[in-house]
Amino acid sequence: MNPIENILPFLQTPLGTLLFIPLYALWVSILLPGIWASMLAGALYGTWIGSCIVFIGACIGAFISFLLGRTLLRNWAQQKLSKNAKLLVIEKAVNKEGLKLILLTRLSPIFPFSLLNLAYGLSKISIKDYSIGLIGILPGTILFCNLGSLAGTLSNFNEILENNENSFSLLLKVIGIFATLAIIILISRTSTKILQELDSLD
């Protein structure tokens, strides 16, 4: 039997649900992209519970990377970020713009989540502002969990066709995805524009 066939049902148990949080935190703290893990959470737990689980795990992982970038891995983080001009600009600008810049970069899709955590660890930003800025990951979290939930629903497509209630639920999920995507695009364009304006002032 495929090991995944045993793992996925376990992750849907109460214990597995709790374990998913530190696993997600570890995933993003070692600089792996969180998109697929977020979609898995959506498929396993649904949009809203999955989003809560991912948000908690992402916050824990973000703090791990932030603290490592500020302490043990500072030299390694500086070498890693020296190859990314955009993140170098952010590291320098955040001391002046503070919380506003953190929120904007969290909302803009042009900055990778894991590397951004390291960049802020190298900066002089306060833990308070860093914590509040994590609110900016919520739109993307909901979107990818919603996509994962939709994928999980489509895996039972034959049942959906035979059940009007499930069909209506599927329609709501699709509408929700497009609505969330439209909001994210609008927010991303606005935040990216503001970031470009801030960059041009330096």
Domain that holds residue 7: 3-201
User: pLDDT per residue over 133-163, tens digit each?
Assistant: 899 888 888 888 888 887 766 555 454 445 5
Q: Are 100 and 133 in contact (CB under 8 A)?
A: no
pTM: 0.75
Q: How many domains does the chain have?
A: 1
- Highest mean pLDDT among 1-15, 45-59, 61-75, 101-115 belongs to 45-59
How many residues does the structure list for the chain?
Answer: 202
User: pLDDT per residue over 118-128, tens digit each?
Assistant: 888 888 888 88
Lowest mean pLDDT segment, chosen from 5-9, 33-37, 91-95:
91-95
Distance from the Cα of residue 85 to its chain's centroid: 22
Per-residue confidence (pLDDT) for residue 49, from 0 to 100: 94
Q: What percent of the chain has pLDDT over 90?
A: 17
116 has pLDDT over 70: yes
Give the DSSP H or E segment for 160: helix 157-162
Say if residue 186 is exposed, middle or buried (CB neighbours under 10 Å; 0-12, 13-18, 19+): exposed
32 φ, ψ to 5°?
-90, 145
Q: Between 168 and 157, whose confidence is greater?
A: 168
**Rounded alpha-carbon distances, angstroms, from residue 72 to 27, 65, 75, 119, 139:** 19, 10, 8, 14, 31
- Highest mean pLDDT among 18-22, 72-76, 92-96, 190-194 belongs to 18-22
